[in-house]
Structure 1
Amino acid sequence: MSSLTYTLVVNSPVYGRQSARSAYQFALALIEQGHKLVSVFFYQDGVSNATALSVPANDEFDLVKAWQSLAKEHNIRLETCVAAALRRGIVSSEEAKLHSLPQCNLADGFTQAGLGSLAEAMLTQDRVIQF
């Protein structure tokens, strides 16, 4: 079996629904099978996966940190849709400066990108899977 390249699209929030965690588990499985996860694009409510201000209970899985670790270990781009993120209060330092906001809260390892980045992934990856 040949190795495939993937992009995952996560539309679900970091907590409250299972889809974002399922996307993370899928990412682990495809890497374990020898495939390459190029990027994860967080869209709609999925942008909440990129907040630096999430504090799960001690006995809960920290999905934000899990995404960060996975990305760092496997050189995966973690991108949030900038428009969706700004609407939901997920702001990078660059966007905070641009919009004269007093602070930012985009977690380390995540970037903000436009839908063009997702379109490029759809054209260049073997598979794009939405959660």
Structure 2
Amino acid sequence: MFYLPMKFVISVQASPQSPASRRALKFAQAVLSEGHEILRIFLYQDGVCNATSIPVLPQDELDLGVAWAEFIQQHQLDAVVCVAAALRRGILNTAEAQRYGRKASVLSDSWELSGLGQLHEAIQQADRLVSFGGS
């Protein structure tokens, strides 16, 4: 059987505590293992909390933030966090922390802050948009 690889955009709108965030990561891993491509991972709404480097979880729990960061780095994926949603939740990179006079940046190095236009652009190039969480 012959199939063409598909191009996916994955949008995560659920917090790291939500089962939807874990499902999103598992789905992304499966997409790549099946030979498909991920054009962009986009975090929006409470999903932006998956990109913070702040939480420290007990050793027996999966740290989704670390898992996402490792996955993104391992596969050199384009990973974007909605800047407006991130700012509302105190998730800043170094430039935004300086811009707003905050003392620390908490955005994991694997992610880039940008606008919803990045999601729109990726959707235009993708075969599928798969969204996890949100209302």
TM-score, normalization: structure 1?
A: 0.96
Residue by residue over 1:1-30, the C-alpha shift from the partner in whole angstroms, topping out at 9 and shown as x without a partner, is: 111111100000011x10000000000111
Are 2:117 and 1:112 equivalent residues in the alignment? no
Question: How many Å separate the matches in 1 of 2:41 and 2:16?
Answer: 13
- Structure 1 unaligned residues grouped into runs of 5+: none
Corresponding position of 1:3: 5
The within-5 A match list for 1:111-130 is 111-130=112-131
Residue by residue over 1:28-58, the C-alpha shift from the partner in whole angstroms, topping out at 9 and shown as x without a partner, is: 1111110011211000000000011011111
Are 2:32 and 1:41 equivalent residues in the alignment? no
Question: How many Å separate the matches in 1 of 2:7 and 2:113?
Answer: 21
Question: How many Å separate the matches in 2 of 1:57 and 1:7?
Answer: 31
AA aligned opposite 1:89: G
Deviation at 1:59, TM superposition (A): 0.2
Identify which of 8, 11, 14 aligns with 1:12.
14
- In structure 2, the residue corresponding to 1:129 is in which secondary structure? strand
Are 2:86 and 1:85 equivalent residues in the alignment? yes
| Paired residue total | 130
- In structure 2, the residue corresponding to 1:41 is in which secondary structure? strand
State percent identity of aligned pairs.
37
Corresponding position of 1:60: 61
AA aligned opposite 1:10: V
AA aligned opposite 1:26: F
Question: How many Å separate the matches in 2 of 1:36 and 1:126?
Answer: 10
Deviation at 1:113, TM superposition (A): 0.7
Deviation at 1:115, TM superposition (A): 0.5
Which contiguous aligned blocks of 4+ residues in structure 1 show a shift greater than 4 angstroms? none
Question: How many Å separate the matches in 1 of 2:63 and 2:78?
Answer: 19
